[in-house]
Amino acid sequence: MSTPSQEVGTPIPANTAHAISVTLPTWKATVGYEEGHDWVVQKMNLGYPRFFIHSIVQDLAKRIETKYGRQGERCMVFPLYKVAKRCREFIKEKSEDKTAARRVLKLTTPAPVSDADLSSIIECTIACVIFPLADFAIAKQYWQHSGEGISSRMAEYVVKELFEKEGKDPSRVHSRHKQELQAQQIQRKSPSISATIRSNSLSQNEGVDLEFNSFIEQKYGRVLDLKFAKHAKIALRRRISGNAGHASDLKNNSDTEPLKKRGEHISEDDVYLYPTGMASIFNAHQALLNIFEPAKKSVCYGFPYVDTLNILRKFGPGCIFYGHGDDESLDELEEGLLTGEIDIMGLFCECPSNPLLKTPNLPRIRELADKYGFAVVVDETVGNFLNISVFPYADVVVSSLTKIFSGDSNVMGGSLILNSSLPLYEKLKEYFTSNYEDNYWAEDALYLERNSRDFETRSMKVNKTSLAVVDLFNKSPLISHVFYPSLSESKKYYDAIKTSSGGYGGLISILFGEPSDAITFFDAINLHKGPSLGTNFTLACPYTILAHYTELEEVAEWGVDKNLIRISIGLEDEEELLETLKKSLEGCGKV
């Protein structure tokens, strides 16, 4: 197992310009990041992209401010005009100054002028919200919550096309793309994306056809030919629709039998790609706000990832929060629906939840939705659609493709799937047909397509290793609680939706009996340490400190302890990983 960097601010993976995670190697460094201490923040030029605006994106924003802004103005850059307008309205709504000038500027890069240009040039439009400096914190909230900000790769391309080409040496400007094209001349000999499109799940014979392609890509770099971006997106939608349609793989259960047919086929036309997983959730919520007239509150069932709750609270009429996500919560919800005290447009939940790994009772939630006419939106990121089949119970299934679907921690992405078997489908489909605009950046799609080809193999290995790690933690006298779907009181609900070949996933949370041991263990552990999950390498973080530092007392009410450590299991050799974890436990001095 390679030695992970323990230097503050190092990208994870190392030497990766568009890395998704960043090294926060100690408990103190994580607190320092949350408190904005210079000794941490000044060493970082990237972080998790929704929370820490990438240095390339910051550079683009500064160039736009210099060229188009007025003194004291800032800007936030988005890939769609309507997204920028939404941000502007959010700023206006939340700002104390309702009269300040806030405007949206559209900029478009040059289109290709020859066939040769198609490999490296693509016409794209960005939309910049320009606002007073005092509004920046509010604009940053929109960036974080919605997940709709411009990606660092798109920003890099726009900087080159709109700023660096003007009056610059053409040979220098095109140097990066010349290198890419040299690799592409070799890659074009093997139509890897086309081969992937022909089948969602490659058989062994098809794998032989792609063996040479894999060698070429590993030797000469990723597919960076922009003209293949549309094909990559088709491949992604087909791969997602094929893997998500696992309802027929549910274990034989009389309670689930009537619902099986709801997931036997998912059309790729009902799969929508977004720049982030949070953008998928945000747009699912936007859809419900539009198809329910008047818009109603939503339910957030179970303690979710932080920005899911922020979306439901800050956009639209608000939400009702059942943070425990247990049967008693459903009893309370059902009573409110029955008496008319509660009238909702949708219920949002995670399956299982992050970080407590609780599984909702989806069959019962579906029964309530059918009876009272609300939508069910399920985020299956943590479980992943190879392990569990939530589709029969959900009107909308959302997922962060940034996580295990990609694995490489170098590209963001999200998906949203509509269930054509449920009553709200027609209204939802009409909304997305009229309102969806593809703003997933071409290069990001190319990277994600390549990364996700071995999704199934990686998922199976992670499932197996995770069980061994859970067993290690469960036997340790130092650890007071292990959070994992197979150990939870809600295991019966997970097992009811578990696919025939599925496992319990790669996310584990732990609590130590002594809080000081949590800090000792985390500081000593020789693993990658930073935000995100589902990476091909094991990744740890003091989750509550990282995600809820300003609300530690509030989240404790929902069972999220401030000393909780979350570990996402990767592809390391199982025995080596177990030995690394054992050494860290021994460092606490109580084994």
Question: Mean pLDDT over residues 129-135, rounded?
Answer: 96
Give 543-562 pLDDT, tens digit per residue. Answer: 999 999 999 999 999 999 99
Question: Does residue 363 have a cis bond before it (omega within 30 degrees)?
Answer: no
Q: Is the pLDDT of residue 356 over 60?
A: yes
Residue 128: how many other CB atoms lie within 10 Å: 24
Count Cβ atoms within 10 A of the Cβ of residue 239 and give its class: 0-12 exposed, 13-18 middle, 19 or more buried: buried
Q: Which segment of 11-15, 41-45, 192-196, 393-397 scores lowest on mean pLDDT?
A: 192-196
Edge-to-edge order in the sheet of strand 565-568 = 479-483, 507-512, 565-568, 539-541, 528-529
Contact call for residues 199 and 206 (beta carbons, < 8 A): yes
CATH class (in words) of the domain with range 11-44+456-586: alpha beta
**pLDDT value at 125 more than 90:** yes
**CA-CA-CA-CA torsion for 354, 384, 406, 225, nearest 10 degrees?**
-130
Nearest to 405 by CA among 380, 426, 433, 442: 380
Confidence of residue 173 (pLDDT cuts 50, 70, 90): very low
pLDDT number for residue 174: 40
Count of H helices and E strands in the chain?
23, 17
How far is C-alpha 176 from the geometric centre of its chain's CA atoms? 28
Looking at residue 394, its pLDDT comes to 97
CB 135 within 8 A of CB 95: yes
Q: CA nearest 10: which of 32, 51, 40, 36?
A: 40
pLDDT tier at 264, thresholds 50, 70, 90: low
Range among 167-181, 195-209, 270-284 rated most confident: 270-284
SS3 for 426?
Answer: helix
> What is the C-alpha separation between 180 and 300, in angstroms, rounded?
45
Distance from C-alpha of 357 to C-alpha of 450, rounded to nearest angstrom: 29
The conformation of residue 97, written as its DSSP 8-state character, comes to -
Residue 512 and residue 521 in contact, taking contact as beta carbons nearer than 8 Å = yes
Which tens digits make up the pLDDT trace of 190-211?
Answer: 334 444 444 444 433 333 334 4
Closest among 85, 28, 29, 23 to 48, alpha carbons compared: 23
- What class does CATH assign to 241-453? alpha beta
* φ, ψ (nearest 5 deg) of residue 155: -60, -40
Sketch the domain layout of the chain as residue ranges.
11-44+456-586, 55-170, 189-224, 241-453
Instruction: Quote the longest CA-to-CA distance of the chain.
Output: 72
Note if the bond before 392 is cis, omega within 30 degrees: no
Taking the CA atoms of the chain, what radius of gyration do you get in angstroms? Answer: 24
